[in-house]
Amino acid sequence: MPTPVGHIIAGAIIYQAQQKEKNIWFLTFLLFFAMLPDCDFIFGFLVGDPNRYHHQFTHSFVFVVSAGLFGGLIYSKWQRTNFTLSSAFFVCAGITHVILDLLAVDKREPFGCPIWWPFSNKFAISPVLIFSDVSRVSDSRLFFKSLFNAHNMRTITLELFILMPIALIILWITRIKQGNTEQ
């Protein structure tokens, strides 16, 4: 699975790709939804094993679509914006999380994500893996400390190498489009 760095970059790509909402609150919501599937770590922390429930129902399309719709409702009421547009981007941010995880090495059973939950309990993983895994321990007391290691730094470097060019291309395209509309 990618690190939070990779998921945040993916959320930022979604933010940059859209043209309607350019404000800090929309960016904050997008980044929240790009990270939301990993809220399953919280359930594990409650039982002393942060990894126990990771890659479960929160990594399904039903979860990210439902969460994105709910977030779109909250955001559109609060900011008085278009519900459909907000929801669509929040759903996309959540889906980027699941897709990145499907494209990552997974060394913990069950391998992959239950993308079709609740319709199927089968886990899926891409046959082509372009992201590395994250090295971490299962002990709640040592979990955060265990994230800071050379393997995870290489994982972050790989994510930057793959995702930053995409982010820069999207930024470049949106700047060109903005320049064309201002003329």
Query: How would residue 132 be classed by pLDDT, with cut points 50, 70 and 90?
Result: very high
How many Cβ atoms sit within 10 Å of the Cβ of residue 117? Answer: 18
In 3D space, the residue among 71, 55, 169, 72 whose CA is nearest the CA of residue 121 turns out to be: 55
- Answer whether residue 178 shows pLDDT above 80: no
- Answer whether residue 171 shows pLDDT above 60: yes
CB 29, CB 62: distance < 8 Å: no
CB 144, CB 150: distance < 8 Å: no
Taking the C-alpha atoms of residue 30 and residue 34, their distance in angstroms, rounded to an integer, is 6
- Answer whether residue 183 shows pLDDT above 60: no
pTM score of the predicted model: 0.92
Quote the crossing angle between the two packed helices 83-102 and 24-35, to the nearest 10°. 40
> How much is the average pLDDT of 137-163?
96
110, two tokens: 């069950």
User: Any idea where the domains of the chain sit in the sequence?
Assistant: 4-182
Contacts of 151 (CB under 8 A, 6+ apart): 132, 135
Query: How would residue 177 be classed by pLDDT, with cut points 50, 70 and 90?
Result: confident
